[in-house]
Amino acid sequence: MAQPIELILVRHLASRLTIPTLLTDVEGTLVFYNEAAEPLLGRRFDEAGEMAFDEWTSAYAVRDESGQLVRSEQIPLVRALRSRRPIHVRIEIIGLDGTPRMLEVSAFPLVGQGDQRLGAVTFFWESQAEEG
């Protein structure tokens, strides 16, 4: 199925960023992650391909700062998609390689012309220790 032009442009941008970036469509399907995100997720995108919502949310274990498992509907990217609001949190992700990584996550929704929901984008940063 043809992707909206906005998702195509974000994918092209993400493919050139060194910031780990995930892109989902409006259904929550993980349609792309860039090369920088591959070590965090434990698999190359070319190998993993697009993943339906249930597939990728069950493939990656996500924990909050207190170590509690985050339910799929509370994953930052999903919250951003559904609430149409940006989210910034610290989480721990256990990728497909089984390695846990503490990350800071910024997720924001993509809204196009005519208030059309298109998907969401997530940027990851290696988590910095809190100052003070």
**Interacting residue ranges for other proteins, rule: CB under 8 A:** 1-6, 8-9, 11-13, 15-16, 113-114, 116
HSE, CB side, 13 Å, CA atoms: give it for residue 25: 14
Angle of CA points 115, 120, 125, to nearest 5°: 140
CB of 1 to other proteins, least distance (A): 6
Among candidates 57, 116, 61, 65, which has minimal Cα distance to 89? 65
CB of 45 to other proteins, least distance (A): 11
Output 11 or 90, the one with its CB closest to other proteins.
11
Separation of CA 29 from chain center: 10
CB of 22 to other proteins, least distance (A): 16
Output 6 or 104, the one with its CB closest to other proteins.
6
Output 35 or 92, the one with its CB closest to other proteins.
35
Output 98 or 114, the one with its CB closest to other proteins.
114
Angle of CA points 67, 79, 53, to nearest 5°: 90
Question: How far apart, in Å, do the first and last CA atoms of the chain sit?
Answer: 50
CB of 16 to other proteins, least distance (A): 7
Asked if residue 21 lies in contact with residue 15, where contact means CB atoms within 8 angstroms, the answer is no
